[in-house]
Structure 1
Amino acid sequence: MKFPKILVAFILATSSVLTAQKKEVSLEEIWSGTFSEERLQSLQSLNNGEEYVVLDRDRTTGNTRIDVYSYKTGEKTRTLVNSADLDGINSFQAFKFSSNEEKILLSTEVEPIYRRSSREIYYVYDVNTEKLTKISEKKIQEAAFSPDASKVAYVFENNIYIHDLNSGQAKQITTDGEINSVINGITDWVYEEEFSFVKAFAWNPTGEKLAYLKFDESEVPEFSMDMFGRDLYPRQHVFKYPKAGESNSEVSLHMYDVGSDSSEEIDLGDKFDLASESSETGNVVKDFYIPRIKWTADPMLLSVQVLNRHQNNLELIFVDAEDNDAEVVMNETDKAYVDITDNLTFLEDNSFIWTSEKDGYNHIYHYDEDGELINQITSGDWEVTNYYGYDPEANKIYYQSTENGSVNRDVYSIKPNGKSKTRLTKGAGMNSADFSADYTYFINSFTNTNTPHVYTLRRARDGKEVREILNNSNLLKKVEDYDFSPKELSTINVNGNELNMWIIKPSDFDENKKYPLLMYQYSGPGSQSVSNSYFGTNDYWYQLLANKGYIIACVDGRGTGFKGADFKKVTYQELGKYEVEDQISAAQKLGERSYIDKDRIGIWGWSYGGFMSSNAILKGNDTFSLAIAVAPVTSWRFYDTVYTERYMRTPQENPSGYDENSPLNHVEKLKGDYLIIHGGGDDNVHLQNTMRMVEELVQANKQFDWAIYPDRNHGIYGGNTRLHLYNMMTDFILEKL
């Protein structure tokens, strides 16, 4: 049969158009923010419960505003402050309200220090008078209003100051602060990184007292990094970093009395003999951590959480600020470790809400003011993953949990007696909540594998949707132009456990073909890489690789979170054993599938994931033919005390746990293609890890590829750095796998 020429031309043209409709993603698009999601920035409820504020930025001028919106209507009601109206401030990066919301602290000229810390120039903006006051000409840290907003406390060069807004005078509260020696009011490096806070002082509710922590880090060993910059000579960055088994800062609690202008150290009683006798020195290590301080509902009663060095014995202590007496009101222990959270909440009668894994899953408990258990509020073979607060008017507690599967999250309300539990979110996926101050409403953030974040306003009493605030429909329209594949969620049975897994296949997947497999994982204790959520930045990279003929998969093995304490804590004292076994076994199982080429399986990861991928290609050298390790730990002896000893105890107590699973001790097993990458200015996982690995590989006469990014920290970013990094990894995968 012969087709008319015009019909042939039409068919060819149509085919060409259809082919052109879908395009492949590029690394330049990924790292230029093409697929960024819209979010609600710095959202915060106002005290009236009827309005919330967000930080808005004018992309044309760079000016920033604090805009107020009505919960009920979604309409902008007013602007509290606009940097365009302020002399000397083009923009501000963050803000904090006074408790009465009549004054606002504005952060400008922010200079990052480590992951959470920064120095900045602070201003106070008076909402009523529109007056702007600079707190200090110098960059200071962690400025915080007193309860009546008449004063601002802050830290400068490791000492605490109080600035009186009425007189304009600043008073120095501590005098012994010294860089790399004594710190007052802010945390040392390891507390900041591992206990996730920087501001280590707290005003009491009446403004009469200021509780603060002091860190004597004079005995903590120093770590130094060469920072090359652009000058003729590099400079050395020297800071205190306690590696596993080494000396920590000596931490103490102090109470400053505003009226008498005097401080007193609080005697917390005899604390724990933490690490058992050192095999090297014969000494008993006696130190402890103070990971949280918080004032109770009684304005003269401070709660202090004290944790032993092994982190398996936590005491909740109440300090009476009238006489500075301390009393232990509750004690929690665990055979492995006790997690520190921010969930402690005091009710009007000074009873308190607490979360614990003591029944095998993380749940909510209610204790009276003396630390006696009133009742366990939630229970079941699922985890409470976020505690949102207590509404005394409705007598309800609000929380997030995995009750509908460990890859999902939902928001619930429940009575303190454990009754009247109500599911407030409906969609299967990742739901989170931001409640109004009076718990009338909450803003629900929702995402799943097919849906970028959608923000809706819901009633707190029943979860009914009031209105949609923001969606990412424009992003969904944008990705329609690309040849993307779905992220498929499933499970895989490995070593007797049903492990969560996602997989991305080529868009033109043919089950009769064989594809190389690249696995990604992180695998750190309590982490989660497999969830019912939309694409992150790396997922777009995986789409790029899938379009080039690769299958990408991720498996959360033993040691990861949200499936109970036993599943998470099985790796205790053996980091890198069970997690690696699960990745190897999962790869072997996936390799049995008809469409996967078992001789072309690679694995990659960053940080803990780099530790894992390094071990995987060594211990699983007959399974993995390629590995990429970015910023990897190569020996836990090189990492910090708080994180490492929580899971491993000290090297003196557990030398085999540290060494048997260290990639340094298995380099002779390398058979495949290995790429190791590190930032030269990584204050977290030091470049020392990669340099030691390189030396061991060289001495074992093993060939490998490696790259160092000068002066870059653990995130390896800045300018074109991320783009360059992902180009390198992409080329390595395309060439070697």
Structure 2
Amino acid sequence: MTSHKLSFPRQHARTQRFTLGAPRAFTVSPDGTRVIFLRSGSGTDRTNRLHVLDTRTGEERVAADPRALLGGSGEKLSPQERARRERAREGSAGIVGYAVDAAAELAAFALSGKVYVAELRAGTARALPVPGPVLDPRPSPDGRHVAYVTRGALRVVGADGEGDRAVAEPEDEHTTYGLAEFVAAEEMARHRGFWWSPESDRLLVARADDSAVRRWWIADPANPDSAPSEIGYPAAGTPNAEVRLFLTDLDGARTEVVWDRTLFPYLARVHWSSHGAPLLLVQARDQRSQRYLAVDTESGATRAVHVDEDEIWLDLFDGVPAWAPDGRLVRIADEGGARVLSVGDRPLTGGQLHIQAVLDIGESDILVSATAGELAERPETGETHVYRVAELGVERLSEGVGVHSAVRAGGVTVMVSSSLDHPGTTVRVLRDGTSVATVANHSETPVLSAEVRLTEGGAQRIPCAVLLPAGYKESDGPLPVLMDPYGGPHGRRVVAAHNAHLTSQWFADQGFAVITADGRGTPGRSPGWEKAIRDDFPLTLDDQVEALHALAGRFPLDLSKVAMRGWSYGGYLSALAVLRRPDVFHAAVVGAPVTDWRLYDTHYTERYLGDPTARPEVYASNSLVVDGALSHAADEVRPMMIVHGLADDNVVVAHALRLSSALLAAGRPHEVLPLSGVTHMTPQEQVAENLLLLQVDFLRRSLGLPRP
């Protein structure tokens, strides 16, 4: 058998980071009798099937099997579906998403460009005879119709396959109906563009026109006979897609929903339930102001039901805004230095909790996901818990140190839990707090075990995870250090979950002390912690240095041999480390970095750095490369390996190429590893495996470490 050091990269790649075979995408039927979910057959099987669990018996059955539905044929994905999966960071196959009617009796999903429906009680599935390629099919609440998008048009068909027709058709090649535009899908976590009415007789349909968005071209240099792919990319300071919203009848008649799109161009959230009028959340471009709007379904006029203002920025959250059953507005807000849950005008939580998402809104309570706030009685480094919030108080439902989330309906809660004690996730089905079933997890058991020490470091109390080689003894002496952060917005890496630290443990087993630090800017602590980086991304590097030096007195760290590795924001941070602090960092693996923030998208970049046309000096101080030259670089030269996928349409390869060119012009040696055909994800098995091996080789060479 291959040794663990050599076998982990292959296993890690083959299992897609041990996610294959794990159940996900849970729905509980309103009567609490069924749990619907996706899962592949094993830890190396990419093809998800649709499953149903009977909560009364604990028995599972397959409701839809892609291999049977396709008759053994391979999947065919349209370019639009590939782009949608890239935005959602979806790397698996088969049924990767589904939607259900209000009773959770009919499910609809796309497979190989076709619409399929599954009758969840009967256990039958079939394709509907509609034009394709299909995106995002969704049943009406009454289960009688299915709406879907094809070639930019929103269409509706009967659940029996009859009466297919277009209800909104694009006017030209730059217009789509029913789809999320780039920044909504990439940055707002709004992955859909149409919403059924509770009565199933109308839809809210987003119209996106990207004709004003600047065109970029993604080439494939490894295949010069292939034409470049054209994309509309809204880089910071440039035009976004124009987004409008229409109330659309099933016969195609429509009424435009009207709001001040000049002041509030971002359609961030849409909610339509039986508890109130359609509800929109629209944002100003600078994201310091937003409006909650109720829609008049007769005229399309809107009225503001709440206004949020923040001098730094406003965040978006899953599950809100929404109406409570009594018609009050449910939202998450930053108030009094805390992130709280508010219902109507009343905050129901305070500084003890840092609310992350609303999971379910019940008749008398709300289920939320939260971390410990800054006023919590004790720190809970890396933990996330599920809480029940009601008028009379707050109750924690999840048990044990770990990362927990939940789905709830009909008196049944599906609790999904990860911990440091064991790999993977456990899924328990609870009724009235009592476990009535479990959902099997078929993911592989890793060939190594992560021995994680969660702690805090420095005056900032920076959350840290420290990993040492398996079997390390104090007599072995100090170890070279590998900082392994993401370190930026939306990316929490210090978590109380075993699998999150497996790659770090593998690097530790190569002879490193590996440290992951979540400094200011990372989520999960307080609004002030997250917003401290406004105009100042290099602050995130200061916190990496502080964490490193604080831990040096408690762990066997050789500060004469310190490297950093990272991907995306972590890649930017790694390059920043060796360019601006070569006194601390001696080598860096720079993966898919943003090097010039003027080349990254509007909604993300302008939230943190503002408008580049009005504040060019802020972009210059935060970028690695400005006008073809290194913006800030110390005199000392440190080795750097730059890795980038040539097919990346999120952080385009121009970032890496401009950094390489600027380094060359400055006479700084470096290595560049271009990944042909690879996007911002690296799902290809051999690519993912060899990336780990090549990084270790580079780090050993750069730090002057002996080969094993």
TM-score range, shorter chain: 0.7 to 0.9
Measured in 1, the distance between the counterparts of 2:4 and 2:657 equals 41
> Which of 688, 692, 699 is equivalent to 2:665?
699
Larger radius of gyration: 1
For the Cα contact (< 8 Å) 1:160–1:172, is it kept in 2? yes
Structure 2: gaps spanning 5 or more residues: 76-93, 373-378, 626-630, 704-708
Measured in 2, the distance between the counterparts of 1:56 and 1:566 equals 38
Measured in 1, the distance between the counterparts of 2:172 and 2:309 equals 35
The alpha-carbon deviation at position 652 of structure 1 amounts to 1.7
Measured in 2, the distance between the counterparts of 1:682 and 1:524 equals 20
- Tell me the equivalent position of 1:69: 53
> Which of 354, 362, 377 is equivalent to 1:391?
362
Measured in 2, the distance between the counterparts of 1:472 and 1:68 equals 16
> Which of 449, 463, 488 is equivalent to 2:420?
449
Question: Aligned pair 1:147/2:120, yes or no?
Answer: no
Measured in 1, the distance between the counterparts of 2:229 and 2:443 equals 46
> Which of 380, 384, 387 is equivalent to 1:412?
387
> Which of 396, 401, 409 is equivalent to 1:428?
401
Give the letter for the 1:633 counterpart.
Answer: V
Q: Report SS of the residue matched to 2:35.
A: strand
Residues 658-716 of structure 1: per-residue CA shift (max 9 Å, x gap):
11122221246451111111011110001110111011111101111111111210113
Decide whether aligned partners of structure 1 residues 349 and 154 sit closer, same or farther in structure 2, where only a CA change above 3 A counts: same
Matched positions, count = 666
Give the letter for the 2:12 counterpart.
Answer: I
> Which of 468, 485, 510 is equivalent to 2:473?
510
Measured in 2, the distance between the counterparts of 1:177 and 1:189 equals 19
The alpha-carbon deviation at position 424 of structure 1 amounts to 1.7
Decide whether aligned partners of structure 1 residues 653 and 347 sit closer, same or farther in structure 2, where only a CA change above 3 A counts: same
For the Cα contact (< 8 Å) 2:28–2:412, is it kept in 1? no
Residues 570-604 of structure 1: per-residue CA shift (max 9 Å, x gap):
101222x2111111233344456683221100011
Question: Aligned pair 1:293/2:276, yes or no?
Answer: no
Range with bigger deviation, 684-693 or 517-526: 517-526
**Greater RCO (CA < 8 Å, at least 6 residues apart):** 2
Q: Report SS of the residue matched to 2:506.
A: helix
- Tell me the equivalent position of 2:89: none
Measured in 2, the distance between the counterparts of 1:671 and 1:196 equals 39
Give the letter for the 2:271 counterpart.
Answer: K
Measured in 2, the distance between the counterparts of 1:56 and 1:560 equals 30
- Tell me the equivalent position of 2:157: 163
- Give the alignment of 1:176-255 within 5 angstroms: 176-179=170-173, 181-228=174-221, 230=223, 233-255=225-247
The alpha-carbon deviation at position 168 of structure 1 amounts to 2.5
Q: Report SS of the residue matched to 1:193.
A: helix
TM-score (norm 1): 0.84
Measured in 2, the distance between the counterparts of 1:506 and 1:146 equals 54
The alpha-carbon deviation at position 455 of structure 1 amounts to 2.5
The alpha-carbon deviation at position 430 of structure 1 amounts to 1.5
For the Cα contact (< 8 Å) 1:443–1:457, is it kept in 2? yes
- Give the alignment of 1:437-516 within 5 angstroms: 437-438=409-410, 440-457=411-428, 459=430, 461=432, 463-466=433-436, 469-470=439-440, 475=445, 479=447, 484=449, 486-493=451-458, 496-512=459-475, 513-516=477-480
Decide whether aligned partners of structure 1 residues 297 and 108 sit closer, same or farther in structure 2, where only a CA change above 3 A counts: same
Q: Report SS of the residue matched to 2:497.
A: coil
Question: Aligned pair 1:402/2:371, yes or no?
Answer: yes
- Tell me the equivalent position of 2:85: none
The alpha-carbon deviation at position 228 of structure 1 amounts to 4.1
The alpha-carbon deviation at position 407 of structure 1 amounts to 1.6
The alpha-carbon deviation at position 248 of structure 1 amounts to 1.1
- Give the alignment of 1:335-346 within 5 angstroms: 335-341=311-317, 342-346=319-323
> Which of 543, 551, 555 is equivalent to 2:505?
543
- Tell me the equivalent position of 2:32: 49
Q: Report SS of the residue matched to 2:335.
A: coil
- Tell me the equivalent position of 2:10: 28
Give the letter for the 2:395 counterpart.
Answer: T
> Which of 618, 622, 627 is equivalent to 1:661?
622
For the Cα contact (< 8 Å) 2:132–2:151, is it kept in 1? no
> Which of 306, 322, 344 is equivalent to 2:282?
306
Residues 316-342 of structure 1: per-residue CA shift (max 9 Å, x gap):
111111122211111011111111123
Decide whether aligned partners of structure 1 residues 706 and 444 sit closer, same or farther in structure 2, where only a CA change above 3 A counts: same
For the Cα contact (< 8 Å) 1:254–1:264, is it kept in 2? yes
Q: Report SS of the residue matched to 1:173.
A: strand
Range with bigger deviation, 327-336 or 484-493: 484-493
The alpha-carbon deviation at position 381 of structure 1 amounts to 3.8
For the Cα contact (< 8 Å) 1:457–1:465, is it kept in 2? yes
- Tell me the equivalent position of 2:256: 265
Decide whether aligned partners of structure 1 residues 157 and 409 sit closer, same or farther in structure 2, where only a CA change above 3 A counts: same
Range with bigger deviation, 648-657 or 157-166: 157-166
Measured in 2, the distance between the counterparts of 1:131 and 1:441 equals 26
Aligned-residue identity in percent: 22
For the Cα contact (< 8 Å) 1:208–1:258, is it kept in 2? yes
